[in-house]
Amino acid sequence: MNFSESETYLLSLGNEVEAMKLGLENIRKLLAALGNPETNYLKVQVAGTNGKGSVCAFLDSICREAGIEVGVFTSPHLVSITERVRINGVDISEEEFARIATLVRETSESLVAKGDLETVPTYFEQVTAIALVGFAEANVKLVILETGLGGRYDATTAANAEIAAITRIDLDHQEYLGETLKEIAGEKAAIIRQGSRVVVCVQSRIAMRVILGRCAEVGVKARLTTEFLGQGFGLPALGLAGNHQTENAQVAILLAYTLGDFFDITDEAVTAGLEKAKHPGRLEYQGRYLFDGAHNIGGAKALREYLDEFVAQPLTMIFGAMKDKEVSEIAEILFPKAANIILTQPDNSRALSAGEIEVAAIGLIDPERCFLTENVSEALSKANEIATDDSIILITGSLYLVGEAKQILKSQI
C-alpha cells in the first residue's frame, strides 16, 4: 500500500472509538506475530483524563535535550496520521508509515486466515502496532506511549511499559470506563503492574485511593508530585501555555528523575526540555486563531482559567463536540466568555450536529449571538465575517474540530 491506500484501509476498519474492542488478546497476538517489537526499548506509558499529551510532550523534549533516542506515540492526530508516530522529534514519513502499515495489515490478515484471530485488529490496534514496529526499526532507546482510552484494555497497555504515569483523572468516556470517578480511576490505574515504576499526579481523594490501592495490590510504590509541594521547587518558563501545565510539568520531571536510573538526564536537560516543549492544538496561536482541544470538563476549566487570566480581547468561538461529551457542562464553563458563538460539526461519525449542541446548551446561549453551521469550513467563513479586527477566533470543544480547522486554514495559505 502507498500512504493514501494505508489511510483508506485503516479508516475502513471503523471509527477508532466506536469500533474499539475491549481486551488485549488481539493486539498481543499481533505483536507476537510481528516479533514483539515492544521488547526492544524501555517504555513509559502515560494514562489519565487530562494532561497525557502534555506530559508526553514535556518528557519527549527533556529526553531529546538529554540526547536520548526517543519515540513517542500519541493520539488523536490533528492533520496527518503520521503525527502519531514521532522519532527523535520528527513525524514518521508517509513512505515509512505506509510500508509498516502494509506489514501490519498482511500480518493481521494472516492471523485471521490461520484462525488465530476471529477478526483483524482494529484501527487503533493496528496504528499502535505500526508505531511499535517503527520504533524498533529506528533503534530508539526509549518510547513514550500516550494511552488512548482508559488503560486496562487500551492497545498501548499490551506493550507492558516498565514505567507508568497517571495524570489528573476526571469524568470522561463514562460509557466505556464507568460512571463514577472510582470506576474510571480503576481502569486507568490498571496500567500499573508488578515491577512497575509509578509516577502519580495530584488527584482527588477518591482517585488517589484507587491508584494507591492498585500499587499496593501489585507491590509497587508510587512517586507523587506532592513531593514538590512545600519544597519551593521552581519551574522555568514552560513551553506550553496555561497554569494547569505546572502539574503536567511536575509529572514529566518525576518521570525524568525515574529515567535517571537508565539514562544520563541532567538538570539542564530537564530545564531546557520544559522550556522548549511544543504540543500542537493545545492553547496554540496561529495569527488571530487560538486552538485548544478542550473536549471534557477538566479541559474546559483549564481553558477558561487561561482565558480569564490572559485574554482580554473579544472572543469569537467556534465550538464542536463528540456525542459522548458533557456538552452542557462544557458550554456552561466556556460560552459566557464568547462575544459570538459558532456551532459546527466536524467530519467525524461521532460528532454532534450544531443543532444538537444548541439543544444541549439551551439557556446558555443568546440566540442573537449564536450561529449554526453545517461544517467546519462554513464555520471558519462565518467567524471571519463577524469577528471584529481586534477579536481572537477560538476553535475548541474537540481535537477533531481543531485538526480539521488547521487543515482548512493551511490549505488557504
Reported as a single tens digit per residue, the pLDDT across 234-248 is 789 999 998 889 999
Task: Map out the domains of the chain with their CATH numbers.
Answer: 3-276 (3.40.1190.10), 284-412 (3.90.190.20)
Distance between CA 83 and CA 57 in Å, rounded?
12
Residue 385 has pLDDT above 80, yes or no: yes
Given this model, what pLDDT does residue 139 score?
98
Task: Give pLDDT, residue 363.
Answer: 83
Nearest one of 224, 216, 217 to 198, comparing CA atoms: 224
Residue 222 or residue 363, greater confidence: 222
Q: Is the pTM of this model over 0.85?
A: yes
Strands (E), 229-324: 284-286, 289-292, 315-319
Asked whether the beta carbons of 73 and 85 are under 8 A apart, the reply is yes
Query: What strands lie across the sheet with 142-146, from one edge to the other?
Result: 90-91, 85-87, 70-73, 142-146, 42-47, 163-166, 197-200, 222-224
Q: Is the pLDDT of residue 346 over 60?
A: yes
- In the predicted model, what is the mean pLDDT of residues 170-182? 66
Please give the pLDDT value at position 151: 87
pLDDT at 350: 86
Q: CA 163 to CA 199: how far, in whole Å?
A: 8
Q: Give yes or no for residue 172 having a pLDDT over 90.
A: no
Q: What is the structure's pLDDT at 193?
A: 95
Q: Which region among 44-58, 190-204, 294-308 has the lowest average model confidence (pLDDT)?
A: 294-308
Distance of CA 138 to the CA centre of its chain: 23
Q: Residue 174: is its pLDDT beyond 60?
A: no
- Going through 3-112 in order, the beta strands assigned E by DSSP cover 42-47, 70-73, 85-87, 90-91
Return the biggest CA–CA distance within the chain: 63
Q: What mean pLDDT is predicted for residues 193-199?
A: 96
Q: What are phi and psi of 170, to 5 degrees?
A: -145, 180
pLDDT over 60 at 316, yes or no:
yes
Whether 397 contacts 294, CB under 8 Å: yes
The pLDDT confidence band at residue 21, using thresholds 50, 70 and 90, is low
* Whole-number CA gyration radius for the chain: 21
Among 163, 155, 208, which residue's Cα sits nearest to residue 186?
208
